[in-house]
Amino acid sequence: MHKTLIIGASGQIGKQVTQHMLDGGHFVVALVRDKDKLSDVDGNTMSIVEADLKNDFSHAFEGCSSVIFAAGSGPDTGADQTLLIDLWAACRAVDYAEQHGIEHFIMLSSVGADKPSAGPEKMQPYLVAKHMADEHLLRSKLRYSILRPGALNNDKALGKYTTQQPQDQNEAKITRADVATALVYLAGDLQPKNRLQELFNGQQNLTEVLK
Type of residue at 6:
I
Q: What is the pTM of this model?
A: 0.96
Contact 174, 199 (CB under 8 A): yes
Q: What is the pLDDT of residues 142-163, one digit of tens each?
A: 999 999 999 999 999 999 999 9
**Alpha carbon distance 43, 98 (integer Å):** 28
In the chain, pLDDT over 90 holds for what percent of residues? 85
pLDDT, averaged across the chain: 94
Range of the domain at 87: 3-209
Find the largest Cα–Cα distance for the chain.
Answer: 45
The count of domains in the chain is 1
Q: Which of 126, 144, 161, 185 is labelled catalytic?
A: 126
The C-alpha torsion from 107 through 47 and 74 to 126, rounded to 10°, is: -20
As a whole number of Å, the end-to-end CA separation of the chain is: 25
Predicted confidence (pLDDT) at residue 75 exceeds the cutoff of 70 = no
Q: Say whether 126 is catalytic.
A: yes
Contact 185, 205 (CB under 8 A): no
CATH of the domain at 189: 3.40.50.720
Confidence of residue 42 (pLDDT cuts 50, 70, 90): confident
Instruction: From residue 30, give the alpha-carbon distance in Å to each of 52, 153, 177, 210.
Output: 13, 23, 18, 25
